Structure 1
Amino acid sequence: MAREGDRLASFSFLLVLVCLASGNGDAVGSPEPFLHTLAGDGQGTQPMVLPLVLAYANSSRRSSVSRYFARRQLQKEVISVASARMRLYDDLLTNGYYTSRLFIGTPPQEFALIVDSGSTVTYVPCSSCEQCGNHQDPRFRPDKSSTYEPLKCNVDCTCDKESMQCAYERQYAEMSSSSGVLGADIISFGEESALKPKRATFGCETSETGDLFSQHADGIMGLGRGQLSIMDQLVDKGVISDSFSLCYGGMDIGGGAMVLGGISPPHGMVFAHSDPVRSPYYNIELKEIHVAGKPLRLDPKVFDGKHGTVLDSGTTYAYLPEEAFKRFRDAIMSHLHSLKQIRGPDPNFKDLCFSGAGSEVSGLSKTFPEVEMVFGNGQKISLSPENYLFRHSKVRGAYCLGVFQNGKDPTTLLGGIIVRNTLVTYDRQYERIGFWKTNCSVLWERLRNSTAPSPAPSAFPEWNSNIQDSPAPSPIGLVDSVLAGQFRVGVITFDMYLNITYMDLVPHLKELSELISNELDVDSQQVHLMNHTNNGNGTLIRWAIFPAGSASSFTSTTAMGIISRLTEDRVHLPQNFGSYKLVEWNVEPPSRRSWWHGQLISVVVGISVVLILSFSAFLVWYWRQGIRGSSTYRPVDAAVPEQELQPM
C-alpha cells in the first residue's frame, strides 16, 4: 500500500542532522534541531517524529528568527522575479507521493524527486553509491558534469574523511535513512520554467536503507525551512519570491503542478495563518472540523497540541489526535448506513473500508458527507470525499478512510490526501498558507499553455528507443471544456507507435487490445482498432475508445481518467510488444445523427402499434359483419313462405 511511503513517517521529519555547509561555503548558522520519536499506539499507526530545539551558547531561537525576518525584509525589495513552473507526476494510491523533474549538472542529468515540504535538503543517488537501490533514473555522475564542485571539509561541517567532503545524514521514523556528501552544481527546472538554471547545494547519496532504498523515485526535493532547502537557496539568491505552490491531482487522475516562486492568489482563495516561530514546519491555525454541516464536539485546543496542525506534502494521509480522530470517525460512520463495512486491502493495517458506493468519484458526495475545516480567522475550506478517502485496491467500488489516529501524539498532521485537487500556496513572506479548490490537472495545462504552445507531433516519428519522448500534447482548451461539462466526449482516439512490424503484431492484436483496455480501466468491448500504417520497422496504430454499453458519451470524470492515463505515460505494455510512444490523441463529440436515426426506434414502435391496432379493428369489424349475415332479424309474426318438400 501507499502507506509504506508515508514519511512523516514519509520523508518529512528528520531524526539526525549532522552539521552542514551552505552552498557558498559560508558558515552555517545555529545548528538544526535534533528530533525524538514518540511510539505509536501499536495498532498499525506510524510513530510521530518531531523536533526538540536545543539552546546553544551565544545563540538563541529568537536570533535565528530575527535572521528569518531579515531575509524576509530583503525579499520585499526584490522588484521582478521569475518562477519555476513544474509538472507533478505519480499519485497517492499507487506511490504514496508526488514527484517532479529536476535537472542537475552540465549537461543536465534528469531526476524524479519527491516534493516534500517537510524536508530541508535535496538529494539524489551518487554514482559511487554501493548501498543505493534501483530507481527511476540513472544515478548522478559528478565526473560527467563540468560544473560540479564538491563542498570541501571545513570547521563548519562534518567531514567525510574518504572524500574530504562535507557530509550529511538523514534518518526517518520508519527506519529508512539517507547519507552522503554535499556538492554544488547547476540546477535547472525544465524547458517550461521561466526560471533560469541556478547553482545550488544538494546531497549526493552514498547509502540508502528502508523505503528510500526500495522506492521508485530517485530522491527528495526539500521544500522546508532550512538553509539547504531548495526554496531558501533560491530566495537567498533573490531569483524567486518567498513563496511556492503545490497542486495535487484527484483520486482518478493524479499528477498536478508546482510553482517555485510567487503567484497571484486566485479569487476565493482561503488563507490560514502560518507561524514560523512556532515550529520549523508549515503549520496552520485549525480550530474546528465540521461533518455534514455539524461541528465535532471538541475543544479547539485539541488541534493546537505539541506542534499544532502541520501541513506536510511528503506525508500521504492525515493523522489526528486521539480524541479528534474518534469524533471524526464516528461522525463519518453515522452517515454510511447504506454501505457495508469490509476489511481493508492490507492485513497489517486496521483500515475502515466500505463497499457499495460505486466506482465514479463524482458520485461519492451522494453517499459520503462533506467535511469542512475552519481556521482561526473564521475562514473555512470544504473537503470532498476524495480528500479523506482512498480507493480499496482489491474491491471495486469500495473506499477506505484516509484519516488515522496519530498514536498518542497530540500533533495534527495533514498529508497530501487532504489537499487533492486543491491549489496550496505556501506564502512564507506573509506567513500564511492559502487553499483554493480546483482541478489540478487542468491547472497544469493552463500553466503550460500560458508559456508556449505545444509543438505539433509528427505523423511518422523516427523511432529511437533510447530517447524518452515527452507525452503527446493535448488540444488547447479542450481539457478545460471536458471537465467543465461544456464538451461531451463521444469517442477518444489516439495514435500509438510501436517499434515492431505489423506482421509480427498481427497474432497479438487481440492481446494488445485487452492490455490497453486493462491499462485504461475500460471494458475490452470499448477498445477498437481503427487503422494501421507500416513505417519501416515500426507500426503506427490508431485506436478508438467508445463509451460503455449503449451510452452515447463518457462522463467527464471517466473521459479525463482515460486521457490522463494516456498523456501521463501510465499505459505499460509487456516487453514482447517492444517500445512504444503516444504520438497524438484527440476526442470527438457524440456522432450527430439525423432525426430519423435518433428517433428510429420510436418511429418503428409507433408504426407497429398503429398497424396492430388497425388490424385488430379490422378483425373486430369483420367478425361482427359475419354475425349479422348469419342471424338476420325477423318479427315474430312475420309470414314464413312454405318450402317445397324434397322427394324421399
Structure 2
Amino acid sequence: MWGRQMFHFLLHWMLGAICFGFLVTAFSVLLSQLVITVVWCSLVIGASIMQDRDLSEYSPTGSSTSKHLSCSHALCEESPNCASPKQPCPYTANYYSENTTSTGFLIEDILHLASSSDRGSKRLVQAPIIIGCGRKQSGGYLNGIAPDGLMGLGLGDISVPSFLAKSGLTRDSFSMCFNEDDSGRIFFGDQGVGTQNSTPFLPLEGKYTTYVVGVEGFCIGESCVDRVSLQALVDSGSSFTFLPDNVYEKVSKEFDSKVNATRTNFEGSPWEYCYKASSQQLLGIPSVTLLFSVNSSFVVDKPICLVYGTQGDNHCISCCFFEV
C-alpha cells in the first residue's frame, strides 16, 4: 500500500538461486552494489507484456506520501551528475544480463506492512523506504521478466531490509517461502529456527556488498568429489549454477555416473548433460549437496531442469561451466 492506494505487485525477488565461481559477478544479474527497489511507473510496460492482468502500476502522483529524493540526499549516488542539489535524484541500473538496464528517479514513500507476534497478535507497520521509479527499461524487462518491478533485498544501504532495520522495525534479516505455483511470502526480520544450518557471508573485494558465501565441496548422492574452495554468489538473477571448468568436470561426471537414463543433447544448448528419462528413472536422480564451512551443508533434491525440445521433453543437470 502506498499512501492511500493499494497496489498488487508481481515482483521479481533479487535473491534466490546460487551462482558459483571465483568472484563470478559476471553471472550475477541483479545483486550488485546498487540495490534498489524498482517499480515501473509507466502503463505502457504492463499493457504490452501482461494484457490479462491489471498491474496497477505505482504512480508517485497517486500516493499522498511520495516525494522525490533530492540530489543532495546522502543515498543519491548520481549526485555528481545533477545540475542542482534540489533536482530529483536519477538512477541508472546496468544489470549483467545482456543489454538489460533500468533508468528513472528515486522516490521516498511509505510501505505498509502487517506485523505479527508469537502470541498471534497483528499490527500494521508504516515503513519509510526508497524506491526507483523506472521510466525507461531495456533488455529482459521488455519481455516480461519482472512485470511489476524489482524488490531490492541486498546488503546496500538503500535496500528494503536495510531501511527496515535502520528504522528499528525489524532485525536485519529476512526469509522467503515459495509454493509450487511460484507464489510466496517474504518475512522481514525472521531469523529462522535455532536448529537450522548457517554459513557466514564473505566480503567481495573487501566489502560486504552482496551475498557471497564460501563453498568447500560437493557431494553427489553419497559420493563426494575432491575438496574445492569456491566463492558462491546467491542470486535470483542466475537461473542455473555456473562452475569453474575443473570443478564442473568433476561434479558433472560424478553426477552422470549415477544417472540410469539415456544421454541426449540439444544443438546450441549450454547444457552438456541431458537425459531422456521416464518418471520412474527420475526417482533415481541423485541429490547434490553443497558443503560449507563449520560443517554446514545445503541439499539440492532436484538438481535438474526440464527442457522442452522438438523430440520430446528432456532433463538436464542445472549447471554450466565457464572459463576462469
Give deviations 1:289-318, integer Å, cap 9, x for gaps.
Answer: 1113222134x33x1xxxx22222332211
Q: Which has the higher strand share?
A: 2
Map 1:10-25 to 2 at 5 A: none
Q: For 1:249 and 1:327, how far apart are their aligned partners in 2?
A: 33
Q: For 1:261 and 1:295, how far apart are their aligned partners in 2?
A: 35
Give deviations 1:406-462, integer Å, cap 9, x for gaps.
Answer: x224xxxxxxxxxxxxxxxxxxxxxxxxxxxxxxxxxxxxxxxxxxxxxxxxxxxxx
Query: With structure 2 as the length reference, what TM-score do the two structures score?
Result: 0.78
CA contact (8 A) 2:115 2:124 kept: no
Map 1:532-547 to 2 at 5 A: none
Code of the residue aligned with 1:245 in structure 2: it is S
Aligned to 1:177: 101
> Residue 343 of structure 1: CA displacement?
3.0
Query: With structure 1 as the length reference, what TM-score do the two structures score?
Result: 0.41
Unaligned runs of 5+ in 1: 1-102, 410-648
Q: For 1:263 and 1:141, how far apart are their aligned partners in 2?
A: 33
1:339 to 246, 253, 261: 261
Aligned to 1:349: 270
Aligned to 2:127: 198
1:112 aligns with 2:10: yes
> Residue 147 of structure 1: CA displacement?
1.2
Q: 1:191 to 1:235 in 2, by over 3 A?
A: closer
Aligned to 1:188: 112
1:290 aligns with 2:213: no
Code of the residue aligned with 2:225 in structure 1: it is L
Q: For 1:273 and 1:371, how far apart are their aligned partners in 2?
A: 21
**Which of 346-355 and 372-381 deviates more?**
346-355
Code of the residue aligned with 2:158 in structure 1: it is L
Larger RCO (alpha carbons 8 Å, 6+ apart): 2
Q: For 2:2 and 2:14, how far apart are their aligned partners in 1?
A: 18
Code of the residue aligned with 1:179 in structure 2: it is T
Aligned to 1:140: 58
Q: For 1:222 and 1:155, how far apart are their aligned partners in 2?
A: 19
Q: Secondary structure at the match of 1:325?
A: helix
CA contact (8 A) 1:116 1:222 kept: yes
Q: For 1:131 and 1:370, how far apart are their aligned partners in 2?
A: 39
Q: 1:293 to 1:342 in 2, by over 3 A?
A: same
> Residue 132 of structure 1: CA displacement?
9.7
CA contact (8 A) 1:221 1:230 kept: yes
Q: 1:225 to 1:396 in 2, by over 3 A?
A: same
Map 1:489-638 to 2 at 5 A: none
CA contact (8 A) 1:357 1:398 kept: no
Aligned to 1:272: 199
Q: Provide the aligned length of Structure 1 versus Structure 2.
A: 289
Q: Secondary structure at the match of 1:111?
A: coil
Q: Secondary structure at the match of 1:112?
A: coil
Q: Secondary structure at the match of 1:330?
A: helix
CA contact (8 A) 2:155 2:208 kept: no
> Residue 279 of structure 1: CA displacement?
4.4
Q: 1:155 to 1:241 in 2, by over 3 A?
A: closer
CA contact (8 A) 2:263 2:273 kept: yes
Code of the residue aligned with 1:154 in structure 2: it is S
Aligned to 2:317: 401
Q: CA RMSD in A?
A: 3.1
Unaligned runs of 5+ in 2: 16-30, 117-121
Aligned to 1:618: none
Q: For 2:272 and 2:36, how far apart are their aligned partners in 1?
A: 33
Code of the residue aligned with 1:111 in structure 2: it is F
Give deviations 1:594-645, integer Å, cap 9, x for gaps.
Answer: xxxxxxxxxxxxxxxxxxxxxxxxxxxxxxxxxxxxxxxxxxxxxxxxxxxx
Q: 1:247 to 1:111 in 2, by over 3 A?
A: closer
Give deviations 1:379-399, integer Å, cap 9, x for gaps.
Answer: 323321x1x111123466631
CA contact (8 A) 1:114 1:314 kept: no
Q: For 1:167 and 1:379, how far apart are their aligned partners in 2?
A: 42
Q: 1:379 to 1:142 in 2, by over 3 A?
A: closer
Q: For 2:136 and 2:306, how far apart are their aligned partners in 1?
A: 34
Question: Over alpha carbons, which structure has the higher Rg?
Answer: 1
Aligned to 1:258: 186
Q: 1:126 to 1:152 in 2, by over 3 A?
A: same
Identity between Structure 1 and Structure 2 (%): 20
Q: For 2:269 and 2:68, how far apart are their aligned partners in 1?
A: 43
CA contact (8 A) 1:132 1:213 kept: no
CA contact (8 A) 1:322 1:408 kept: yes
CA contact (8 A) 1:353 1:400 kept: yes
Aligned to 1:376: 293
Aligned to 2:27: none
Q: For 2:241 and 2:139, how far apart are their aligned partners in 1?
A: 22
> Residue 180 of structure 1: CA displacement?
0.4
Q: 1:232 to 1:133 in 2, by over 3 A?
A: farther
CA contact (8 A) 2:46 2:57 kept: no
Q: Secondary structure at the match of 2:169?
A: coil
CA contact (8 A) 2:215 2:290 kept: yes
Q: Which has the higher helix share?
A: 1
CA contact (8 A) 1:357 1:397 kept: no
Aligned to 2:156: 226
CA contact (8 A) 1:166 1:181 kept: yes
Q: 1:245 to 1:141 in 2, by over 3 A?
A: same
Q: Secondary structure at the match of 1:107?
A: coil
CA contact (8 A) 1:123 1:205 kept: yes
Q: Secondary structure at the match of 2:263?
A: strand
Q: For 1:347 and 1:204, how far apart are their aligned partners in 2?
A: 38
Code of the residue aligned with 1:341 in structure 2: it is R
Q: 1:133 to 1:213 in 2, by over 3 A?
A: farther
Map 1:52-451 to 2 at 5 A: 103-117=1-15, 118=31, 120-127=35-42, 134=49, 137-154=55-72, 157=76, 158=79, 164-173=87-96, 174-189=98-113, 196-216=125-145, 217-249=147-179, 253-265=181-193, 267=195, 269-276=196-203, 279-298=208-227, 300-301=228-229, 303=230, 308-336=231-259, 338-344=260-266, 347-358=268-279, 364-366=282-284, 368-384=285-301, 386=302, 388-394=303-309, 398-405=314-321, 407-409=322-324
